[in-house]
Amino acid sequence: DLGVVVEVSELDETAHQAMSNEGRRVLRHATQQEIGKWHSLDAADDEAMQHLIDLVTKNNVPILVKQAEWQFERKTLTFHYVPLTPHPDFRKILKSAYRKFHCRIWMNNCEPKDGEPGERLFVA
């Protein structure tokens, strides 16, 4: 996937080894075309989020959609949500979202309680 370098600093040997073990390294600089594609994902994220909010409202699914996030290659679309009830059933909206976007749809509980699945995400 595409990443953005936000800070460069000197690492001590322990930190450098830890980052190397995670497999995170810059393979090459992005082309201008890739940078343009990356910038266009913001609008696509907004469109996807609005579509899911409409589906949630139409199907009375008890979740609050916080963010939509396309993978750079547009093969996966992740929706970050907060459940309003335990174990919300969003199977209907997943089918509709797949029909609209033709990609893998991931639902991430971005504010999981103790023991619940999900990856905490701090979004506005």
Beta strands in the chain (DSSP E): 63-70, 76-83, 104-109
Burial of 116 (0-12, 13-18, 19+ CB in 10 A): exposed
Each residue's pLDDT tens digit, 77-122: 999 999 999 889 988 899 999 999 999 999 999 887 777 777 777 6
- The pTM (predicted TM-score) of the whole model is 0.71
Given the structure tokens 């953005």, which residue do they identify?
A: 4
Chain centroid to CA 13: 32
pLDDT at res. 16: 57
pLDDT tens readout for residues 25-65: 677 788 888 888 887 888 899 999 999 999 999 999 999 99
pLDDT of residue 24: 63
Check residue 5 and give its pLDDT.
Answer: 59
Residue 4 has what pLDDT? 62
CB within 8 A of 68, min separation 6: which ones?
45, 46, 48, 49, 52, 77, 78, 79, 80
